[in-house]
A and B are shown apart, each in its own frame.
Chain A
Amino acid sequence: MTIDRRDFLRHATRVAALGAIFPRSMLPRLVRVPPPAGWSVAVDPDPAALAATAVDAARGAGAAYADVRLTFRQWRGFGWPPSELEEMGMGARALVNGYWGFASTPYWTPDEAARVGREAVAQAKANALGTQRVVELGTIPRVSGGEWSSPMQVDPFALAPGEVADWMDGLRGWASELGGGLGINWTVGFVKERRTFASSEGSTWGQTFHTTSASVGVDYKERRWGLDFLGPAQGGWEIVQRAPVRDGIRRIKEAIDEDVALPEKPVEVGRYAVLFDVGAMAALLAQTIGYATELDRALGYEANAGGTSYLNDPLAMLGSYRAGAPALTVTANRGEPGALATVRWDDEGVAPESFTLVKDGVLADFQTTRESAAWLAPWYEKTGRPARSHGCASAPSALDLTMQHTPNLALQPGAGDADFDALLAGMPDGLAIRQVRPEMDQQHSSGVGLNTSNSVYEVKRGKRVAVVKGAGMLFRATDLWRNLTALAGAKSLRWLPAGQSEKGEPSQTTPYSLGVVPGVFKDITIVDIMRKA
């Protein structure tokens, strides 16, 4: 929240540049220091007791339902200057007469706990003077003293900080010997977050999340390509330590060598068969079906913020709307190990289940919370299922209101075992696109795909023959997925960070991951993105 990514990257760039100027021996010697513990909780307050205090205060003030979250986040970043961040938060949510109130504070004291509990009710009551509003939360299994931690093997917060810097310096030294002026650019950041929850229904849980994010960029022959398997992902330092980083850098060098050997040609506007690699597939899935199947968005709850959805009549569209080709099946889950939206319980105490959003090309479900699941009751009744939350409630921290956010999404791979190279070899002609940045309209129904760096290739008889400059794509979400003709097999499935699920006013974001495979599409409109009318 305070150290933005751009700053972080800029500082990191500066460190990397200095590394290039001074030979390694001139870099200051690293001093090993003992691992620090979290420093904000020196007084060690009991978050479960505070949560109970706040819930009691809300009930006492007249809440029909209340839940309270406490979050403690530690962030450690290796860049310039090195930095650490700790943030504590406590937030209470209360329901009165169908109206929600919310209050949050950074201070973990019993007085503040009681205050936010009462304040949330006061906020709700101010609106409860209006026309009655119906909120059906349904019943969920009670979680009593639940405890969960995201899997992590090497705790980054228990590492000597010098170890990370040493590791990266070693990598840079090794990479500089690859020759050709190849340089490495890196940043590393770790997050450890403890969340505590209690509700007036008697549910309580504590969960600990570890996230590691490393960015290793390879600067070579005027290109900068990054490794895409270093997170952000849930896990510890092992994500970086055990990753085939050196192999990855060698492969990028070879790929860039191949790339620069290809002739460059300007884009020829037209319709093409296109093979998208995993990076492009993740971006396209996130910006289309990922956004459009948020139920609150579809029903206009985000109309004044990010916008609505092209899936704008959920009850009429479910079970019949062709969201894509029959080969398209998209599932959602919050259980994929390592994925960024993975939890044992969501921020309303629901244990999320895996569910299918698009089945064989047909719209089958939406992302829901306890409140919004009830809005689809007729559909669930018709299909013989309970109107139960899919566990998509989330928030960046307890300082922010809980909202519906995107869970992890997975594209079901194709039946065969074709990978990117096999799909490429099977293309008579067309384009292959490594990365694309989709920019959408306010309903995510249509967009332009911007070509980031050199990532569009002309394909002839199954081979990449040229780098295409200035190509962009113009697409409608539904047409795009209806034009899906083939997907790579399960062996090609990759989980990638999706960027962020963005919601609300003021806007808040939470991370999630996407499981994708390369895919082939027909009739993709390719345009010169810089050309005016």
Chain B
Amino acid sequence: MSRASTRDARPFSLAAEPRRFLSRDDCEALAQRVIGFARGGGETLLSITSEWTGELRWARNRATVAGDRRGNVIRITRAIDGARAQVSTNQTDDETLAAAVRAAERLLRLGRTVPTDFPDPPVPHEYPATHIWSEPTYAQGADIRAAAARALVEPAERAGMLSAGYLGVMARGSALVGTNSGPAMYTPQTFAECSMTVRDPKGTGSGWAGLSSYDWGRIDAPALAARALEKCLASRNPVAIEPGRYTLIMEPQATFALARLVVGSLDRITEEEKQLGPFAAGIDPFTGLRTTKLGRKVLDARITIEHDPMDPDLGVVPFTLENGGIQPYRRATWVDHGVLTKLAYDRGYALHQRMENEGFPNSGSFRMSGGDSSMEEMIRTTRRGLLVTRFSNVVVLDWNSVLATGVTRDGLWLIENGKISRPVKNLRFTESPMFAFNAIEQLGPPERVYSPEAPAIVPAVKVRDFSFTSTVDAI
């Protein structure tokens, strides 16, 4: 795995204008001040996230608000002799920071000492170079968003429909600095997202389209507007059908709602609860260690699920700051041609269950392999089935089987004899992705979906016997 140090200067220019979020220099200087305020020895650790958001919401074909928001979270942890206390502030002035350190030290004196389970891991100095900064995205102004939104609303309004949506860009600096962790770790990143819902004014049809990326330039907003409108028009006046088992064609956004549950199960085994997830096999009676399904076939052989922080189409921060510690994300193939090959876990699990010093964090970002079936081909080869745009309000009923329930939203169509025959009313499903992804008929090419915080690339999927359990009136 090739690695580049992000401590080097990056092609990143926070313009000379008043900064909208804290830069690397700001974070380093702030941390040195905080460390200087500490009294009584021990360790001081800071994690800093600082962000700016430029955004626009619209509804009923008019902008409802445009905004510029800025914020910081500066978390200071003081640890002395196994006792640990944490304070958090969004201020950067000396008075506040000194007072914050005093507050943490006061909390330490509460004496709630808990013997440290294990010493902190050595802080790695190298991280993958990830593709998450886009200068034009950071430079996007309110005027650009306003003009873009007017253009996105226009086709819907012309068709007599109602458009509502959100268009936002964000820039964030994430830093970690500590007395024991060497020089500051800092990563700047940008986010962009655009999504919209077009509804028939009578409320009989609804269409949605959306996309997110670190780079606004990679979002074709007019195409999204056209798609949401088209879906709205085609979904009007749906008829009710019986719940039951259907062959189901999921557009990538729908596949994503299920695939993320599989990916979310990868570190379930580290939980302290009974529900260790679908990849736990039991407890070894002799060692007391948790056994897993690693090496076993868990999904259809056509499915590979990977995580690569350097994937230019995914774009994630190269490390996690969870629980005040820092760990780099690493490349992983979680599922290789259907076989479970890697699990994610925290450091406690690594030490106690795997005799390793470091955890293996899961960023939630992933790429799922696909196939070469086009949407048209999937429809043409379906005698009777359903086509769904996306799922909404998905909740897991049982983590061990990943049985989940949720509803279809923004376009559900009946397919009969290889053709879309009519829009149908939404349905509630009760199904597990572990079942659905073992009943795959066809796969489309993987594509980026709307998933602002943890980017994902997934294909359209056609599955057999997908379980719908009740009808839903909502449109």
Write the residues of chain A forming the contact surface with B, with a CB cutoff of 8 angstroms. 1-3, 7, 10, 13-15, 18, 28-31, 33, 36, 39-43, 80-89, 99-107, 119-120, 122-124, 126-127, 129-131, 133, 161-162, 165, 299-305, 307-308, 310, 312-313, 399-401, 439-446, 448, 450, 474, 476, 504-506, 527, 529-533
Q: Which of A3, A13, A99, A504 contacts B63 (CB under 8 A)?
A: A99
Interface residues of B, dominant DSSP = strand
Q: Does the CB pair A505–B107 fall under 8 Å?
A: no
Q: Does the CB pair A42–B65 fall under 8 Å?
A: no
Q: Does the CB pair B93–A43 fall under 8 Å?
A: yes
Write the residues of chain B forming the contact surface with A, with a CB cutoff of 8 angstroms. 53, 55-57, 59-60, 62-73, 75, 77, 84-93, 95-96, 98-100, 102-104, 106-107, 109-114, 141-143, 145-146, 149-150, 162, 164-166, 168, 195-197, 199, 203, 206, 208, 243-245, 272, 323, 392-393, 395, 397-398, 403, 405, 407, 409, 426, 428, 430-431, 467-470, 472-475
Q: Which of B68, B104, B114, B470 contacts A123 (CB under 8 A)?
A: B68
B146: nearest residue on chain A (CB-CB)? A126
Q: Does the CB pair A82–B473 fall under 8 Å?
A: no
The interface residues of chain B lying within 8 Å CB-to-CB of A313 are: 203
Q: Does the CB pair A30–B111 fall under 8 Å?
A: yes
B166: nearest residue on chain A (CB-CB)? A505
The interface residues of chain B lying within 8 Å CB-to-CB of A443 are: 473-475
Q: Does the CB pair A81–B95 fall under 8 Å?
A: no
Q: Does the CB pair A2–B73 fall under 8 Å?
A: yes
The interface residues of chain B lying within 8 Å CB-to-CB of A303 are: 59, 162, 164, 197, 199, 206
The interface residues of chain B lying within 8 Å CB-to-CB of A80 are: 112, 114
With most chain A CB atoms within 10 A of its CB, the pick from B65, B96, B475 is B65
Known: A103-B69, A530-B403, A533-B245. A39 touches B59 (CB 8 A): no
Q: Which of B111, B166, B395 contacts A31 (CB under 8 A)?
A: B111
Q: How many Å lie between the Cα of A86 and that of B472 in the bound state?
A: 44
Q: Does the CB pair A445–B71 fall under 8 Å?
A: no
Q: Which of B107, B164, B428 contacts A84 (CB under 8 A)?
A: B107
- Closest-CB distance, B70 to chain A (whole angstroms): 5
Known: A82-B112, A165-B110. A102 touches B68 (CB 8 A): yes
A44: nearest residue on chain B (CB-CB)? B95
Known: A2-B75, A126-B142, A130-B150. A101 touches B67 (CB 8 A): yes
Q: Which of B93, B196, B426, B469 contacts A441 (CB under 8 A)?
A: B426
Q: How many Å lie between the Cα of A230 and that of B95 in the bound state?
A: 35
- Closest-CB distance, B345 to chain A (whole angstroms): 16
Q: Does the CB pair B110–A162 fall under 8 Å?
A: yes
B453: nearest residue on chain A (CB-CB)? A506
- Closest-CB distance, B183 to chain A (whole angstroms): 24
Q: Does the CB pair B88–A40 fall under 8 Å?
A: no
Q: Does the CB pair A106–B114 fall under 8 Å?
A: no
- Closest-CB distance, A439 to chain B (whole angstroms): 5
Q: Does the CB pair B75–A441 fall under 8 Å?
A: no
Q: Which of B84, B168, B428 contacts A81 (CB under 8 A)?
A: B84
Q: Does the CB pair B430–A531 fall under 8 Å?
A: yes
The interface residues of chain B lying within 8 Å CB-to-CB of A42 are: 93, 95-96, 98-99
Q: Which of A14, A104, A127, A308 contacts B56 (CB under 8 A)?
A: A127
Contacts beyond the supplied A130-B150, A441-B426: 8 A-B pairs with Cβ under 8 Å: A7-B323, A81-B86, A83-B88, A104-B70, A119-B68, A401-B65, A401-B67, A441-B407
Q: Does the CB pair A127–B469 fall under 8 Å?
A: no
Q: How many Å lie between the Cα of A101 and that of B92 in the bound state?
A: 26
- Closest-CB distance, B399 to chain A (whole angstroms): 12
Q: How many Å lie between the Cα of A441 and that of B393 in the bound state?
A: 7
Q: Does the CB pair B195–A304 fall under 8 Å?
A: yes
The interface residues of chain A lying within 8 Å CB-to-CB of B168 are: 505-506
- Closest-CB distance, A29 to chain B (whole angstroms): 6
Q: How many Å lie between the Cα of A476 and that of B62 in the bound state?
A: 32
- Closest-CB distance, A16 to chain B (whole angstroms): 12
A75: nearest residue on chain B (CB-CB)? B88
A299: nearest residue on chain B (CB-CB)? B60
The interface residues of chain A lying within 8 Å CB-to-CB of B56 are: 127
Q: Does the CB pair B109–A33 fall under 8 Å?
A: yes
Q: Does the CB pair B473–A310 fall under 8 Å?
A: yes
Q: How many Å lie between the Cα of A450 and that of B166 in the bound state?
A: 32
Q: Does the CB pair A31–B110 fall under 8 Å?
A: yes
The interface residues of chain A lying within 8 Å CB-to-CB of B272 are: 10, 13
Q: Does the CB pair A29–B100 fall under 8 Å?
A: no
Q: Does the CB pair A102–B65 fall under 8 Å?
A: yes
Q: Does the CB pair B203–A130 fall under 8 Å?
A: no
Q: How many Å lie between the Cα of A120 and that of B54 in the bound state?
A: 11
Q: Does the CB pair B113–A28 fall under 8 Å?
A: yes
Q: Which of B106, B113, B467 contacts A533 (CB under 8 A)?
A: B467
Q: Which of A130, A446, A531 contacts B473 (CB under 8 A)?
A: A446
Q: Does the CB pair B62–A106 fall under 8 Å?
A: no
Q: Which of B103, B164, B243 contacts A301 (CB under 8 A)?
A: B164
The interface residues of chain B lying within 8 Å CB-to-CB of A531 are: 430, 469
Q: Please list the 10 inter-chain residue pairs (A to B) with the smallest Cβ-Cβ separation, ordered nearest first.
A: A39-B99, A42-B95, A443-B474, A532-B467, A127-B63, A441-B474, A102-B67, A126-B146, A28-B111, A126-B142
Q: How many Å lie between the Cα of A15 and that of B83 in the bound state?
A: 13
A86: nearest residue on chain B (CB-CB)? B89
Q: Does the CB pair A82–B474 fall under 8 Å?
A: no
Known: A101-B67, A299-B60, A448-B428. A84 touches B88 (CB 8 A): yes
Q: How many Å lie between the Cα of A126 and that of B63 in the bound state?
A: 10
Q: How many Å lie between the Cα of A101 and that of B55 in the bound state?
A: 10
The interface residues of chain B lying within 8 Å CB-to-CB of A106 are: 70-72, 90-91
Q: Which of B71, B106, B113, B150 contacts A33 (CB under 8 A)?
A: B106
B87: nearest residue on chain A (CB-CB)? A84
Known: A300-B199, A446-B473, A448-B428. A533 touches B244 (CB 8 A): yes
Q: How many Å lie between the Cα of A474 and that of B472 in the bound state?
A: 11
Q: Does the CB pair A399–B469 fall under 8 Å?
A: no
The interface residues of chain A lying within 8 Å CB-to-CB of B96 are: 39-42, 86
Q: Does the CB pair A83–B70 fall under 8 Å?
A: no
- Closest-CB distance, A179 to chain B (whole angstroms): 25
Q: How many Å lie between the Cα of A222 and that of B392 in the bound state?
A: 34
Q: Does the CB pair B89–A40 fall under 8 Å?
A: yes
- Closest-CB distance, B102 to chain A (whole angstroms): 7
Q: How many Å lie between the Cα of A313 and that of B203 in the bound state?
A: 9
- Closest-CB distance, A531 to chain B (whole angstroms): 7
- Closest-CB distance, A73 to chain B (whole angstroms): 10
Q: Which of A41, A304, A308 contacts B196 (CB under 8 A)?
A: A304
The interface residues of chain B lying within 8 Å CB-to-CB of A84 are: 86-88, 103-104, 107
With most chain A CB atoms within 10 A of its CB, the pick from B53, B103, B395 is B103
With most chain A CB atoms within 10 A of its CB, the pick from B71, B92, B323, B392 is B71
- Closest-CB distance, A180 to chain B (whole angstroms): 21
The interface residues of chain B lying within 8 Å CB-to-CB of A107 are: 91-92
Q: How many Å lie between the Cα of A163 and that of B141 in the bound state?
A: 51
Q: How many Å lie between the Cα of A176 and that of B277 in the bound state?
A: 32
The interface residues of chain A lying within 8 Å CB-to-CB of B53 are: 506
The interface residues of chain B lying within 8 Å CB-to-CB of A307 are: 392, 409, 474
A505: nearest residue on chain B (CB-CB)? B166
The interface residues of chain A lying within 8 Å CB-to-CB of B63 are: 99, 127, 130, 133
Known: A81-B84, A532-B430. A104 touches B164 (CB 8 A): no
Q: How many Å lie between the Cα of A310 and that of B57 in the bound state?
A: 22
Q: Which of B57, B85, B472 contacts A83 (CB under 8 A)?
A: B85
With most chain B CB atoms within 10 A of its CB, the pick from A7, A13, A124 is A124
Known: A86-B89, A307-B392, A450-B397. A301 touches B428 (CB 8 A): no
Q: Does the CB pair A31–B112 fall under 8 Å?
A: no
Q: Does the CB pair A161–B164 fall under 8 Å?
A: no
With most chain B CB atoms within 10 A of its CB, the pick from A10, A13, A30, A506 is A506
Q: How many Å lie between the Cα of A5 and that of B85 in the bound state?
A: 17
Known: A401-B65, A532-B467. A15 touches B114 (CB 8 A): yes
